[in-house]
Structure 1
Amino acid sequence: MSTTGTIDKTAIRNAATVIVLRDRMGEPSILMGQRGAKAAFMPNKFVFPGGAVDAEDARVPLATPLPAVCDGRLRDDSPDGLQHPLAVAAIRELWEETGLVLGTPGTWEGDVPEDWTTFAATGHLPSAQSLQFVFRALTPPGRPRRFDARFFLVDADDIQGDLDDFTHASDELSHLQWIKLTEARQFDLPFITEVVLAEVAGRVLDRDPPESVPYFRNNDEASLFLRLRGFPMPDHP
């Protein structure tokens, strides 16, 4: 997770999480790692790679944008303009925490942002066309950190390079590994991760973005399970 800027520990931060699905037509597995014992948020839990959106993410160009249908659903019950930094944050966090590249071959123009120098050195530009928005969850009140997390599903076939090479990963997650989808619940998982896994299991054979996206919203008044049905993309001249 990047540490750009000062973090307000009481604020709800927008975040992006990436579920990489491997061998979906055979024995599907997902990539997970374990958070540290001293982590303020979900210590010791096995989680998907992901983290908070940084201010710099809005200024990082994408070689290809999100699918239009995902862009529209990300705008549902959210400020317009957040779609791009969420996609960038997803790609950045995947790289930082696992060393895996979601991008397309290319050379960066101009100065490369500090958080992206090692990614750029691989000879790739970040690409969002393979990200599918599949779930959203707001951390309940009373937790030491609160995130409004958007979960993105990506097929491992769209990752560049060796899927088992984690040598470029930071130390944010330990025990990085591919876990069979049928065995994931044997690990120490956060409750919301179990809910998301059930959603992913139902989408293994469907390569298209979902028609609507589950939203588990926890606030001071109630915990609600909603559906985000999105907005049509505006016409362009």
Structure 2
Amino acid sequence: MSPVKDASTVVLLRDGDGGPEVFLLRRAAGMEFAGGMTVFPGGGVDATDAEADIAWVGPDVSWWARRYGVDEPRAQALVCAAVRETFEECGVLLAGHTESSTVDDTRPFADDRRALERRELSFAQFLTRHDLVLRSDLLRPWANWITPVGERRRYDTRFFVAAVPEGQIADGETSEADDVRWSTAGDALETWRAGETVLLPPTWRQLRDLTEFGAVEDVLAQDRAVEPIMPTLVGEPGAIRVDFPDQDEYYSAVTHPWAAR
């Protein structure tokens, strides 16, 4: 059985004319995991994400540990990975120089952003170098999906939601994506139904849930109980099907073939 690695994903939001918009990346086709899939910013937890000497404001580590059902070092690693991966993949940084501020322009950190992506710099070192405080109060717990048994690469992924800080611009300057865009959840689902994108079930489910909200503040106001969901791989003639909650809605809506692998 493949080992399960912790991962963090951030559903990054902003308000648009048609309601809340979400930032989506299409992973480069050559990526070993989910290549060609449309996803939210995120990735695996790095060992250095659990470093204790990190400047932090907002709900403390024990609060996050309770919300995600993990111990405190693991909770810190998950939150740090969420903020770090969001910065690496789209240049949005949930941190500031004071407990109540956020950076308004992340471009001066471009070199360190690349160093973080290459794992030449830890996130704690980056924050210390620039006298920054991680803003855990800008994140909200949202969901927890675990890759099915049988997959070669498996992740225990915690989903967070967050709004883009004022003045910051999400970009696509990452080697892991070949296309990025802002879209309402409804438009993203329509694009998927038309066969123009490919959504893994966890991504589809978060987008479907977001269609219920009229503004970003409504999303951030949610106090969701996070329960782990682990789909099951089921062999079918000529294909592998993934069984998960609300799967009938997923499979009946899609108009193009989808395979778990």
Asked whether the equivalents of residues 23 and 29 of structure 1 are also in contact (C-alpha less than 8 Å), the reply is yes
Could you tell me which of 201, 204, 207 is aligned with 1:194?
204
User: Equivalents in 1 of 2:6, 2:232: separation in Å?
Assistant: 15
Deviation at 1:50, TM superposition (A): 0.5
Amino acid in the other structure paired with 1:127: R
Residue 162 of structure 1: aligned partner:
168
Question: Secondary structure, in 3 states, of the residue corresponding to 2:54?
Answer: coil
Residue 87 of structure 1: aligned partner:
79
Q: TM-score, normalised by structure 1?
A: 0.74
Residue 160 of structure 2: aligned partner:
152
Query: Which whole-Å deviations, capped at 9, do the CAs of 1:11-46 have from their partners, x for residues lacking one?
Result: 100110000111078521100111111111111011
Could you tell me which of 122, 130, 134 is aligned with 1:115?
122
Asked whether the equivalents of residues 133 and 209 of structure 1 are also in contact (C-alpha less than 8 Å), the reply is no
**Percent of residue pairs identical:** 24
Could you tell me which of 7, 12, 20 is aligned with 1:20?
12
Deviation at 1:219, TM superposition (A): 6.5
User: Equivalents in 2 of 1:217, 1:179: separation in Å?
Assistant: 27
Aligned residues between the structures: 206
User: Equivalents in 1 of 2:181, 2:15: separation in Å?
Assistant: 14
Residue 145 of structure 2: aligned partner:
137
Deviation at 1:135, TM superposition (A): 0.5
Asked whether the equivalents of residues 31 and 177 of structure 1 are also in contact (C-alpha less than 8 Å), the reply is yes
Distance 1:163 1:195, change over 3 A: same
Provide structure 1 residue ranges, at least 5 long, that are not aligned to the other structure.
1-8, 107-111, 226-237
Deviation at 1:81, TM superposition (A): 3.2
Residue 183 of structure 2: aligned partner:
179
Deviation at 1:173, TM superposition (A): 1.7
Q: TM-score, normalised by structure 2?
A: 0.68
Q: Give me the CA root mean square deviation.
A: 3.1
Larger radius of gyration: 2
Could you tell me which of 34, 54, 63 is aligned with 1:61?
54
Provide structure 2 residue ranges, at least 5 long, that are not aligned to the other structure.
99-115, 192-196, 234-241, 246-261
User: Equivalents in 1 of 2:126, 2:145: separation in Å?
Assistant: 30
User: Equivalents in 2 of 1:121, 1:25: separation in Å?
Assistant: 38
Deviation at 1:191, TM superposition (A): 1.7
Amino acid in the other structure paired with 1:114: L
Query: Which whole-Å deviations, capped at 9, do the CAs of 1:137-177 have from their partners, x for residues lacking one?
Result: 00012222100000000022xx264324x27x321122122
